[in-house]
Chains A and B, each alone.
Chain A
Amino acid sequence: MTNNAIFRTCPDTGLRFHGPAETLIKLNAVAAVVFLLVGGIMGIGVGLTRWPEVHLLGPQDFYTTLTSHGINVLIFWIIFFEIAALYFVSSVVLGCRLATPKLGYLAFLLMVIGALVNNYAVWSLSSAVMMTSYAPMPAHWAFYLGLILFAVGALIGCFIFLGTLVIAKKEKTYEGSIPLVTFGGLTACIIAIFTIASGAIILVPTLLWQLGYVSNIDAGVYRLIWWAFGHSSQQINVATHVTVWYMVGALVFGAKPLSEKVSRFAFVLYIAVLQIASAHHLLVDPGVGTEWKIFNTSYAMYLAVMASMVHGLTVPGSMEAAQRARGYTNGLFEWLRKAPWGNPVFSSTMISIVGFGFLGGISGVMMGAEQLNLIVHNTLYVPGHFHATVVLGTTLAFMGITYWLVPVLFRRELILTSWCKWQPYIFGLGMTGVSVFMMGAGTLGLPRRHWDAAFTSSSFPYEFPSSAMALMSLNGLSVVLAAIGGGMFCLIIVGTLLFGKKVGQEEKFPRVMVATPPTEAQYVTLHRSGNAISGTLLLAGVFLIAFVVYYFINWKYLAETWGMS
């Protein structure tokens, strides 16, 4: 039953918005930003405590704040945003009504209640057990219940997305195959369903254990299944932020995929390799065999790595092709120099691509090698790595697209436009520092999730090299910079929602919101030149060299430590 009255056509983008879909996208996106703000503030507390000269919080507050930081940003901010993104790439991109909006509101409500219950447990029911809540360390049952409610809500959101695809197909709102960004959303959705199922398999028994119905949770089995959940949830992030990259390419440059086949196949690889990719979290665990570890890290991880390396070429490559087709053909990099670096939608995306690839990708592969994991497991290297993937990669990509979404959805002009210009760079630079300095300190052995690396109250204190402590001071400074960038973002977005200049439903923004794609003839000329993505290829080559060099340097480090067999 289609009702045209609840559709509006956006004058800037030509997209058709289904009323309830639009409301749900707004609700989920705003909730996301609220949890980003909360989790971000917690992050400042963590960073300032790890700064040796500041050492802000006491141990109890530190561990509680760290738990809260992880859950609020890694789970709540990101998944609220992903649900908004799923609704967008289905309902809006396909111009189709959203399936069962009422269930959408229920899903949203469950997610909000779950997030609140979990936060309450962390803060008031002494459940500072970190995001991973490794049993048999117990949390209050409300901790697990909150996560389960949140997950059920997210699961409903996934099925609404799938339902919307079915409706769009049946009502023929598009022709041929679904667009690439919708396809990316579909992979994220499938991964999310697998993720939530794994989460249920481990969190439900853990909840029952805390309620007294299950006598014992095995520590090894908990880690195995928890990581099937924890790892795949990161795979949702990757699938979604790569989708956002392609979307930004289309919005800013009118770019199209270099090859539909290659890009879609690379998305499919993310799903294909999911099963036990959690293996690389268990590389130094007892109870799992060598062959199992090698098999599951190689096939399950490297195929995903290959997929990301392919996207890493095709996303900037498609931007380059569009720019060159439009006439920016001089040298290797005119297309890049003439890119809109002052537009936060683009600059955020570019920093996201580079940060995710160079810092997050390379470090992830390094520590995912069975033996190399010995020199970094549970050190600060690990949070250093995932601040590059999840913050530089995912969060910055989501921030970038928010700069586009907010005006389009709320019909308000962004406030503080000069801040908008600088924000991605400030946040990106701060977070690059956070990643790099934590990875550096981790290489020197500093532990993660640790209140006092100076060991002032320990019976047998250990003194880390002063260089490690200096890195933590630099990390503290970077946290401040990132916090300024994050604060600017929240202020711009919330300020725009409240005070942004209103733009009428029929009125247009005074700037181009969706670039006109190059013509087919322009692409044909470009391809005849045989030079469509030469700049991107050179950058890819630089990336590969950095990757190879860094990877083998770490084998050399490993060779220098104690022998073990």
Chain B
Amino acid sequence: MTSLSPPDQKVWWKKPIDRAELIWIFIVVIWGIILTLMMPLWHIFGEQNLSTETYRTTPQRYMEKTQAFVDQYTVRTEGDRQFPVVAPPAGEDIYMVARLWDWWPILELKQGQSYRLHLNSIDWNHGFSLQPANLNIQVLPGYEHVLTITPNATGEYSVICNEYCGINHHNMVGKIYVVE
């Protein structure tokens, strides 16, 4: 009898399980419980937990809010397309728009301070990928996602798009400066 033939015992479910197999199953179950517990534990003791604060929005509404934010805190512009560099005070609500094919505007944040970052796409799916910090968040149209971020080192960060969004997807790069 093999795995290709019916079990030789008619009541195969009554056959006791081998010890070696039982030990392995026991280990596997324990490991599964540890895997499960790691997630709530990180919510209690870890520093990196993604907020779930989300609001329904529309492209118009979100652009208006972002425009107001840019108008209020822009300190200079950058690049041939005059991207505003926005330096909001610590603790402020800050906005970034994902669109074909920009992250807009450029942000200038302070190290060790927390900000409420709003993310939303005004067209298709995009992927907020902060490099080299390597934080990756899905950005959807219609959903305004608000998360608190705390930059832990100064420097020039790039926001690349890592959700395919059409023919210029690979050119979609934004910036975040973190200063003292």
Knowing A306-B28, A447-B160, say if A460 contacts B150 (CB, 8 Å): no
B135 touches A374 (CB 8 A): yes
Contact of B129 among A283, A305, A378 (CB under 8 A): A378
With CB as the reference atom, state the residue of chain A lying closest to B101: A458
List the A side residues contacting B149 at CB < 8 Å: 562-564
Q: In the complex, which of the residues A137, A174, A294 contacts B125, with contact meaning CB atoms closer than 8 Å?
A: A137
From A60, A136, A455, A465, contact of B167 by CB (8 A): A60
A562: contacting residue among B10, B23, B133, CB under 8 A: B133
Does B131 reach chain A (CB closer than 8 Å)?
yes
Contacts A134-B125, A306-B28, A445-B131; A260 near B13 (Cβ below 8 A): yes
B48 touches A562 (CB 8 A): yes
Chain B residues within an 8 Å CB radius of A212: none
Q: Do B48 and A294 have beta carbons less than 8 Å apart?
A: no
| Smallest Cβ-Cβ distance to B161: which chain A residue | A447
Q: Which residues in B have their C-beta under 8 angstroms from that of A294?
A: 36, 39-40
Name the residue of chain A whose CB is nearest to the CB of B163: A378
Q: What chain B residues lie within 8 Å of A136 (beta carbons)?
A: 123-124, 141
- List the A side residues contacting B6 at CB < 8 Å: 174-179
In the bound assembly, the distance between CA atoms of A458 and B174 in angstroms comes to 10
* Interface window among A97-105, A233-241, A365-373, A472-480: A365-373
Query: Are A314's CB and B39's CB within 8 A?
Result: no
Q: Is B150 touching A377 in the complex (CB atoms < 8 A)?
A: no
**Contacting pair B2 A255 (CB below 8 A):** yes
Give the interface SS of chain B, mostly helix, strand, loop or mixed. mixed
A562-B42 in contact given A59-B170, A302-B36 (Cβ < 8 Å): no
Q: Is the CB of A455 within 8 A of B143?
A: no
Provide the bound-state CA to CA distance between A255 and B25, in Å. 21
A514 → B minimal CB distance (Å): 8
Q: Specify which chain A residues have a CB less than 8 angstroms from the CB of B175 in the assembled complex.
A: 460
Instruction: Verify if A1 is at the interface (C-beta below 8 Å from B).
Output: no
Chain A residues positioned under 8 Å from B161 (CB to CB): 447
The one of A287, A459, A564 in contact with B173, judged by C-beta atoms closer than 8 angstroms, is A459
Inter-chain contact A313/B137, CB cutoff 8 Å = no
Stretch of A112-120, A246-254, A392-400, A427-435 contacting B (4+ beta carbons < 8 Å): A246-254
Q: Mark B23-56, 1 if CB is under 8 A from A, else 0.
A: 1110111011001101110110011111110100
- Cα of A564 to Cα of B39 in the assembled complex, Å: 15
Stretch at the interface among A18-26, A503-511, A532-540: A532-540
* Known pairs A254-B2, A374-B136, A450-B169; A261 contacts B17 (CB<8 A): yes
Chain B residues lying within 8 Å of A134, measured Cβ to Cβ, are 124-125, 163
Contact A317 B136 (CB under 8 A): no
One of A197-205, A327-335, A553-561 at the interface: A553-561
CA distance A543 to B5 in the complex (A): 30
Cross-chain contact A379 with B17 (CB below 8 angstroms): no
**Distance (Å) between the CB of A561 and the closest chain B CB?**
5
User: Contact partner of A544 among B27, B114, B158, B169, CB < 8 A?
Assistant: B27
In the complex, A177→B9 CA distance in Å?
Answer: 9
* Bound Cα distance from A179 to B12, whole angstroms: 11
Query: Would you give the shortest CB distance from B147 to chain A, in whole angstroms?
Result: 6
The chain A residue with its CB closest to the CB of B103 is A460
In whole angstroms, what is the CA distance A558 to B49 when docked? 10
| Distance between B58 CB and nearest chain A CB, rounded to angstroms | 12
A309 CB-CB contact with B under 8 Å = yes
Chain B residues within 8 Å of A220, by CB = 140, 142-143
Which residues of chain B come closer than 8 Å to A534, judged between CB atoms?
20
Residues of B within 8 A of A559 (CB): 46-48
Q: Is A38 an interface residue (CB 8 A)?
A: no
> Chain B nearest CB: distance from A300 CB in Å?
11
| Contact, CB under 8 Å: B129 / A179 | no
The total of chain A residues at the interface (CB under 8 A) is 105
Question: Could you tell me if A459 and B124 are in contact, using CB atoms closer than 8 angstroms?
Answer: no
Within the complex, which residue of A181, A299, A375 is in contact with B136, where a contact is CB–CB below 8 Å? Answer: A375
B32 touches A306 (CB 8 A): yes
The distance in angstroms between the C-alpha atoms of A377 and B81, with both chains bound, is 30
B28 to chain A, nearest CB (A): 5
Q: Is the CB of A284 within 8 A of B125?
A: no
Docked CA distance A254–B5 (Å): 11
Q: How far is the CB of B89 from chain A (nearest CB, A)?
A: 19
**Roughly how many angstroms separate A558 CA and B152 CA in the complex, as a whole number?**
13
Kindly list chain B residues whose C-beta atoms are within 8 Å of the C-beta of A218. Answer: 142
Residues of B contacting A452 in the complex (Cβ-Cβ under 8 angstroms): 170
Bound-state Cα–Cα, A561 to B52, Å: 19
By beta carbon, the residue of chain B nearest A558 is B48
Cβ contacts under 8 Å, A178 to chain B = 6
Instruction: Give residues of chain B (142-166) contacting chain A, Cβ–Cβ below 8 Å.
Output: 142-145, 147-152, 158, 160-166
Say yes or no: is A298 at the interface (Cβ < 8 Å to chain B).
Answer: yes
Q: Are B173 and A458 in contact (CB under 8 A)?
A: yes
Chain B: CB-nearest residue to A134: B125
| B138 with A377: CB separation less than 8 A | yes
* Contact assessment for B35 and A298 in the assembled complex, using a CB-CB cutoff below 8 Å: yes
Is B77 an interface residue when CB atoms closer than 8 A count as contact?
Answer: no
User: Is the Cβ of A379 less than 8 Å from the Cβ of B129?
Assistant: yes
The A-contacting residues of B in range 72-130, CB under 8 angstroms, are 79-81, 83, 114, 119, 121, 123-125, 127, 129-130
Residue of B nearest to A175 (CB): B6
Known contacts A371-B50, A537-B20, A181 near B170 by CB under 8 Å: no
Q: Find chain A residues with CB under 8 A from B143 CB.
A: 219-220, 286-287
B21 CB-CB contact with A under 8 Å: yes
Q: Indicate whether A371 sits within 8 Å of B39 (C-beta atoms), given known contacts A285-B140, A445-B129, A559-B48.
A: yes
Which one of A219, A318, A445 contacts B141 once the chains associate, using CB atoms below 8 Å?
A219
Binding site for B on A (CB under 8 A): 59-60, 63, 93, 130, 134, 136-137, 174-181, 218-220, 223, 246-247, 249-251, 254-262, 282-290, 294, 297-299, 302-303, 305-306, 309-310, 313-314, 317-318, 365, 369-371, 373-379, 443-445, 447-453, 455, 457-462, 464-465, 517, 532-534, 537, 540, 544, 547-548, 551, 555, 558-559, 561-565
Query: What would 5 A/B residue contacts be, using CB atoms closer than 8 Å?
Result: A136-B141, A223-B125, A286-B145, A298-B39, A317-B20
- Mark B residues whose CB is within 8 Å of A: 1-7, 10, 12-13, 15, 17-18, 20-21, 23-25, 27-29, 31-32, 35-36, 38-40, 42-43, 46-52, 54, 79-81, 83, 114, 119, 121, 123-125, 127, 129-145, 147-152, 158, 160-175
**Closest A-B pairs by Cβ, 6 of them:** A447-B162, A286-B145, A462-B158, A250-B2, A563-B150, A298-B36
